[in-house]
Amino acid sequence: MADSSKQKIDGTLEPRRQPPTKPSTTTPSGIEVPVVVTPDMVSDRTPEMPGEYPFTRGIFPDGFRGCLWTIRQ
């Protein structure tokens, strides 16, 4: 599955591929950031449900679709 998803991404992006606009794809901490992350690349993590600990997918189960805009100063 990892090969097929990578081939699909490469096949879609190849005609439009351009050199990166930023010379570096690392964070200020030195962590390398890939252009595309597939589920196969993070297979060592268990997917969490939205609204459940550790809140990697947001704090609300329905995202922010259930609440109106909040304006704060």
pLDDT per 10-residue tile (average), the chain, 73 residues? 70 68 74 77 70 71 72 77
Nearest to 46 by CA among 36, 57, 35: 57
pLDDT of amino acid 50: 66
Summary count for the chain: helices (H), strands (E):
1, 0
